[in-house]
Each structure stands twice: as structure tokens, then as C-alpha cells.
Amino acid sequence: MDPIADLRVKLGSAMDNADWTISMADRLCHACVDLLHVDGAAISLMLEGSSQGTFGSSDGLSRQVDELQFTFGEGPCMDAVRHGGPVFAEDLADVTDTRWPAFTGSVLDLGIGAVFALPIRLANSGVGVLDLYRRTSGGLVGNSLAGGLMAAELAALPLLEMISAEAKVRALGSNEPAWQQLSSLARVEVYQATGMVMVQLGVGPAEALARLRAHAFANGLTASQVAWSIVERELCLEVDGRPQSGGPHL
Amino acid sequence: MSTERQSQITTAFVSIASSMADGADVVDLLSRLTSDCARLLDIASAGLLLADSHGVLNVLAASSERTRDLEIFQLQRDEGPCLDCFRTGEPVSVSDLSSATERWPEFAPAATAAGFAAVHALPMRLRGITLGALNLFNDEPGELTADDLDLAQALAHVASIALVADKAASDKETINEQLRTALRSRITIEQAKGVLAQLGYLDMDQAFAVLRRYARDHNARLSDVAQQVVSRKLAGEQLIAHAVSKLVLPENPA
């Protein structure tokens, strides 16, 4: 098998049968360590530019490094959220790299040589970051970069669960493979319905998607079916979580 | 070819070239390109499908913004002429869709039910890489003439060039990044259409017209305006009011 395709399958199956959100995120981080030539991985949730905390990691050190960025308010992870793209610190010991003075010093003391921060997107908005760590310096080269980008796509699923939990909508209920779940949300009608739900409930895109998906689970429907009902105005999600049928809502 | 048609073709290419030179928004530009394509070839609907980093096809632009039409294009993630064209890098032409059910058991009946009778797919290629495909639907069965196919292929090439505007982009990763950005713009535009549709009780065609009109009249990029609508930095109501004032929308939408 093509090595990238193989990575895709292995990363995708890492979260199979995980019983709850944190364990999904932890398992994905472990898979990154096993497959991407890195020594640690952590997933943090960021909403409206501020950290909601680290909630998945491959080990205690990764969690500690991740949290240091929030302590100092600087680091590749914060920059990745700000710029909406990957931020790499390939050699933290390089004294000419002065981007994060406080963070860099502390992380070097912990024995970390390189950090790679990959933004996690949900409903096309930045909701978190996957941080990959290595003890030695050097780039995230070859298939590890492609793999890291795929892992960051997959990390949207545990974050979606997390956002659902915060919005107090029950969402865990799919045993579908991870890539299939992501693909079921990547549809024209789902994007459009997400925009409509944003207005109906006065929420951001990620929460709107979480609500739509929760409604699908609760009613044994697919995300696409719920999206069509919303787009065709047969369904309007209400603030209390109970749907109201039909009629224009101006 | 009639002189009038030749002149229309020239106008379309000149307009695309000037937009590219002006650094116009790629999704906006390609939406216009698909509309030109449908008009010049006298066909029912044209759409551009772009492959993401997993090789999955996504709708990037279409001559119609109706959700049902976009859905027919989108169905080809799993099967259909566009997927076959993307995989082989060769054009695929089906003059009678009703006879293609065996080949595409999901796609052919759905496209037929949507009123389409013939379909053609042409590869979008750039420097040896197939990026996606241009998809043409007609509501009458039949072949396209060799001239029409040449014209469609030329438009598909222009679309590829517009997509990877950075001439230095030669490696696959840089090209992929540009394609990712374009696909993300499309997602934001769909979300913004949803926001506007809900606010103004509009259909998706109208919502797109509102978005586009505001962007043009304010000399802004379509995807930037969409992003501001989605992040609520720009009130959707403002866009709708603008469209009403320009008579793009009736004062009391249905």
C-alpha cells in the first residue's frame, strides 16, 4: 500500500471503539507517537482565541509542555491559532529564533528540541491545535508532515464531542470509522445548514455543527438528512434544543 | 462557428484574464467561469470539482447555486463521470445518462431524476498533476461537438491556472496548500449562504447573489465577505439591505 494511504488508515483507526472523548484524543496522540517519528503529542481546545485546556496527550510530559504555552501565553500553538496555519519550531535551541523567549527556555529545560503545531478546524473554523514534540531538533519531514496534517483533521472529532458536551447536547453515538464520520459532515447541505443553525441558535459554526449532529444522532438520522430538513425549512433548531417543525422564522 | 459566438468566447476569456491579473477571488472567478461555460456551450449546468488531499472530489464552483444541483455534482465523491475522469486524467462523455445506470448505480438515476440527460467531464490538469474535473450537464441527450469539447477543455485549463495562481508552485505540497485554501473558501461561502438564507428567508441562489453583489459593490473579495458574515463581523442584514437597495432582491422576499 502507498505509505501515505497506509498512514491514513492507521491514524483513522486509532480512535475506533474509544468509549469517551478524552480517550479518543489520547489514542490519537499515541498513534501520532507510534507513526509520525515524534516523541509526544497533545491536543488542546481553543475557542475564540483562548485556550480551554489540554484534553488529550500521549504522556504527562507532552501535557506539561502543552500547558506551558498557556501559562506563558506564547508558543507555536498560540501562533498556529492566530495565523490559522501550521507553525513549526524545528530547533528550539537555535538562539536566533526569538519568537517565544519564555516558552522556549522552559521547554528546553524539559528536554524538548522541536515543536510542531497544527491547527484543528471544525466547520472551517479553528477550534484547537495538535502539538507534536520531539526531543531532538529537526523538521517534520516526508510522510510525517502529511501524517500530522491528517491527524489534525481527525482531531476535529474529539473536539466536536467536547464542544457538544459543553453545549450540553449528547453526541457520542456513532460507531462509524473516523474518516467516514468526517466525510459525512463534509457536504454542501451540511455547510449551508450550519450557517442557518448559527442564526437560529445564535452560536458559532463549530457549535452549530455540533447541534446539527446531535440532532441527527438523537433521531437516528444522518447529518445530511438533518441538513436537508433545515435547508428546506422543514426543521428549525430551537434554543432549548427541541426542534420546531415548519414555518418561516424571520 | 458564428461570429457572434466567437466574440462571446473572446469576451469571456478576456474577462477571466483581467480578473486573474487583478488578483480576483478564485471561487468568484471560477463561479463566473462555470456560468460562462454553461452559456457558451448552451448547456444546463456546469461545475468544477476539486480533489482534496485525500483525493476526494469537492464542489468548488458551479453555474447554479441551487443546493440540489450542487448535490448532484457532490454525489461524484463516490462514483460518476467526474471521478472516472479525475482518476484516469481522460475526458468522459455520456450522451445518454439513462443508459449509464449499470456504470454508476447511484449517480446516474439521481442525475436523471434531477432532469439531466447527458454529462461530460474534462480533466483539470496542471504540470502533470490532475487537480479535479470540469463537469457539464445537459437536459437533452446528445454529444458535444469537437469544437465545444475543445472550448470546454480550454476553460478547464484556465480554471487550473487560476487555482494555482502562484507560478512558483511546482511541488505537490505547495499546490495542495493552494487547493486547500480554495476549498476552505467554498465552505465559508456555503456557511455564509446559510446565514443569509436564514436571516432573509432566501433560497441559496438568492443568498449567493446577495453575497456576490455586496462583495462587488464594496470592491471586496467574495470569500473575505463570506468569512466576515460567518464570523458575524459583518451583519448579514446589512448585505440583505444592500441587495434590496440595488433591486437584486424584492423588498419583501417571499
- pLDDT single digits (tens) A178-226: 999 999 999 999 999 999 999 999 999 999 999 999 999 889 999 999 9
On average, the pLDDT of chain A sits at 88
Q: Residue B173: its chain A contacts at CB < 8 A?
A: 145
User: Which carries the bigger pLDDT value, residue B165 or residue B195?
Assistant: B195
> How many beta-carbon pairs under 8 angstroms link A with B?
78
Question: Residue B254: pLDDT above 60?
Answer: no
Under the banding of pLDDT at 50, 70 and 90, the label for residue A248 is very low
CA distance B86 to chain A (A): 18
Mean pLDDT of the region B65-81: 89
Following DSSP, what letter does each residue of A13-28 receive, concatenated?
HTTTT--SHHHHHHHH
Q: Mutate which of A150, A181, A191 to test chain B, going by most B C-beta atoms within 10 A?
A: A191
Pairwise CA distance, residues B236 & B249, whole Å: 14
Contact B152, B144 (CB under 8 A): yes
**Helix, strand, or coil (residue B130):** strand
Question: Residue A239: pLDDT above 80?
Answer: no
Q: Give residue B178's pLDDT.
A: 84
Q: Residue A12: its chain B contacts at CB < 8 A?
A: none
Question: Residue A136: pLDDT above 80?
Answer: yes
Of A192, A197, A199, the CB nearest to B190: A192
Pairwise CA distance, residues B130 & A125, whole Å: 28
Q: Residue B230: its chain A contacts at CB < 8 A?
A: 124-125, 195, 198, 205
Pairwise CA distance, residues A123 & A190, whole Å: 9
Contact A207, A179 (CB under 8 A): no
Cross-chain Cβ contact B194/A193 below 8 Å: yes
Pairwise CA distance, residues B84 & B247, whole Å: 43
Pairwise CA distance, residues B30 & A216, whole Å: 33
Pairwise CA distance, residues B126 & B120, whole Å: 20
Tell me the pLDDT tens digit for each residue of A142-176. 899 999 999 999 999 999 988 888 777 765 556 78
Provide residues of B within 8 Å CB-CB of chain A: 53-54, 56, 58-59, 67, 70-71, 74, 77, 173, 184, 187-188, 190-199, 201, 204, 230-231, 236
Cross-chain Cβ contact B70/A248 below 8 Å: no
Q: Mutate which of A192, A198, A200 to test chain B, going by most B C-beta atoms within 10 A?
A: A192
